[in-house]
Amino acid sequence: MRIETRQLTQQFGETTALDSLDLTLEGNKIIGLLGRNGSGKTTLLSILAGFRKPTAGEVLVNGEPVFENAHVVRDIALIREGGDTVEESEKVSEALRFAEYLRPNWDKELAGQILERFEVPVKSKLDQLSRGKRSAVGIALGLAARAPLTMFDETYLGLDAPSRYVFYDLVLQDFMEHPRMFILSTHLIEEVSRIFEEVAIIDHGKLLIHDESDALLARGVAITGPQDAVDAFITGRTVIGERQLGRTKSAMLYGMLQNGERDEAARAGLDLEPLDLQDLFVYLTEPKGGN
């Protein structure tokens, strides 16, 4: 699976949701799509799925255009917020039968297992289910489709914390058994970042950064130790946050440290720890002029 967006632009009146976005994704991997509210994530996923024709630019999946291309679209599954992939008046069982008809790789057994795990009554209509149960239906439809490109857009929103972790484990397990490309759009970065192999961050419709998770995390470090030693070490560096308790101080830095700099920190009695993805995301998307 290879996805390319070239100068992808989407206008809604005077609002630019996507602004000449160039992005290439390829291979079997789980990719985190991150961005603040209004950054353009949902618009991007809708265009990738062929739901919307962009204002300008193009999207290619395995070298072919997506929009109004049934051959390509059948290999793409997009599950949107709250699992809103089927009519609310339909029964769960009807949604499953329709999915089986549409999806060439449909795994009926897996869909049943997921719905049973989330205790979803298949004879009920979607509008009779709680928000969490509707999300579970969306998860079942997305995973059981076994589409080469499977995208989840904030699918977890109706789930409580234990159920969200079940979802993350289901994605990882199914990816390991049936490798393909997953794109997960989420705001709960701290929870789900452990399963990301790559991360793409968009901000105000533009691609801010796209890199492997480990490479991105290597750019952030927390320095902890005596206040005077920390202050001396961070002078002239990019500091993205500070905390202090008594005479002990911790500072978060953005930028890779060389081996010599790490040795310098060790000689000064400072502890170094990597930053998590959420801290880096907050810094990278901080509005200019913000605190």
Q: How confident is the model at residue 67 (pLDDT cuts 50, 70, 90)?
A: very high
pTM of the model: 0.89
Q: Where in the chain is the domain with CATH 3.40.50.300?
A: 2-215
Q: How far, in whole angstroms, is CA 10 from its chain's centroid?
A: 20
What's the chain's Rg over C-alpha atoms? Answer: 22
Consecutive H or E run containing 184: strand 181-185
Mode of pairing for the β-strands spanning 181-185 and 30-34 = parallel
Q: Where in the chain is the domain with CATH 3.30.70.240?
A: 218-284
- CB neighbour class for 79 (10 Å; exposed up to 12, middle 13-18, buried from 19): buried
Cβ within 8 Å of residue 288, ≥6 positions away: none
Mode of pairing for the β-strands spanning 15-26 and 76-79 = unpaired
Extract the tokens encoding 143: 């995973």
* 17 in Cβ contact with 2 (< 8 Å): no
Count Cα atoms within 13 angstroms, Cβ side, for 58: 8
CA geometry: angle 77, 81, 83, nearest 5 deg: 60
* 52 in Cβ contact with 29 (< 8 Å): no
pLDDT single digits (tens) 8-21: 999 999 999 999 99
* C-alpha–C-alpha distance, residues 147 and 3, integer Å: 14
* 274 in Cβ contact with 218 (< 8 Å): yes
The predicted model gives 73-96 an average pLDDT of: 81
* C-alpha–C-alpha distance, residues 205 and 7, integer Å: 11
Whether domain 2-215 has CATH 3.40.640.10: the reply is no
Instruction: List, in sequence order, every residue forming a beta bridge with 253; answer none if it has no partner.
Output: 221, 239
Question: Can you state the percent helix, strand and coil of the chain, rounding each to 5?
Answer: 40, 30, 30
Cβ-based neighbour number of residue 71 at 10 Å: 9
Q: What is the CATH number of domain 218-284?
A: 3.30.70.240
- % of the chain residues with pLDDT over 70: 96
Q: How confident is the model at residue 86 (pLDDT cuts 50, 70, 90)?
A: low
Query: Which of 20-34, 211-225, 243-257 reaches the highest mean pLDDT?
Result: 20-34
Give the model's pLDDT for residue 284.
Answer: 87
CB crowding 111-142: b at 16 or more within 10 Å, else e: beebbeebebebeebbeebeebbbbbbbbbbb
Q: How confident is the model at residue 291 (pLDDT cuts 50, 70, 90)?
A: very low
